[in-house]
Structure 1
Amino acid sequence: MPIQLTPAALERMHRFLAKDPAAIGVRFGIKRTGCSGYAYTVDLAQAVAENDSVFDHDGIRVLVDAKALPFVEGTEIDFQRQGLNAAFVFRNPNATGECGCGESFTVDTKA
């Protein structure tokens, strides 16, 4: 199952991409960090790497490195505003737990 984007996430990503004409899409991935193990990363992508999976959503290319894909496949990315705060929100069917602050998540690496 590919990465999904909500209408709010699509709108936010279109705005980011419009500010950087050299960007070809959005790179979605993970990094080891936090109290639970992994944190999500969302950056502008300048090129497609050899080991990337590419998902297209209404004009947005989402690139995911092959090493990160098993951890994030099927994730829905949303964008939410709460008061003065605005952030991407991730609904990951592979996550088996999250830290209390919501900054990191765990997965069952044995599965």
Structure 2
Amino acid sequence: MSRRPRPKIVTLSDAAAARVNEIMAKGDKPYLRVGVVNGGCAGMEYVLDYAAAPETFDELVEDKGVSILVKADAVMFLLGSEIDYETTRLASKFVFRNPNQTDACGCGESVTIVPVKAEH
């Protein structure tokens, strides 16, 4: 019996992949690191950073030419998320489309995320 393919923890929209590749081409760090931290009025904040190498327990996801490291403590909060890149008249920013997100603060800087429940 073969195992079903493991779903990617996070994916990138075409716009996000293009922007990340553009930024990373100018730098010296080959990985995008994604995670969540406690903070903000809604409880959690998404974090993006660039990394030179994986840390212990990071999950590696390859999507659209980008090597994404997901912090181990963020996996259950980010499973199924898409990272997008939006440009409006006033700002350009990365945004998360997360099926586990249940609420967000009014300014959009923090979110409430319920971890994915394990399937039996």
* Same fold, TM-score > 0.5, yes or no: yes
Aligned equivalents of 1:26, 1:72: Cα separation in 2: 15
Query: What CA distance in whole angstroms lies between the structure 2 residues aligned with 1:10 and 1:52?
Result: 20
Identify the structure with the greater strand proportion: 1
Which contiguous aligned blocks of 4+ residues in structure 1 show a shift greater than 6 angstroms?
none
Letter in 1 for 2:87: R
CA RMSD of superposed structures (Å) = 1.5
- How far is 1:46 from its partner? 1.1
**Structure 1 position 50 matched with structure 2 position 53:** no
> Is 1:105 matched with 2:87?
no
TM value normalised by structure 2: 0.85
User: Structure 1 residues 58 and 108 mapped into 2: Cα distance closer, same or farther (>3 Å)?
Assistant: closer
**What TM-score, normalized by structure 1, do the two folds share?**
0.92
The total of aligned residue pairs comes to 110
* Counterpart residue type for residue 18 of structure 1: A
Q: Give 2:69's match in structure 1, choosing from 50, 58, 63.
A: 63
Q: Look up the SS of the partner of 2:53 in the other structure.
A: coil
- The percent identity for this pair of structures is 38
Q: How does 1:61-100 map to 2 (within 5 A)?
A: 61-100=67-106
CA distance in 1 between counterparts of 2:65 and 2:89 reads 29
Shift of 1:53: 0.4
**Unaligned 5+ residue runs, structure 1?**
none
- For residues 17-59 of structure 1, give each alpha carbon's deviation from its aligned partner in whole angstroms, at most 9, with x where no partner exists: 11112x1210011111110011111111111112010000122
Which secondary structure state, in structure 2, belongs to the residue aligned with residue 67 of structure 1? Answer: helix
Checking the alignment, whether the CA contact within 8 Å between 2:100 and 2:116 is kept in structure 1 is no
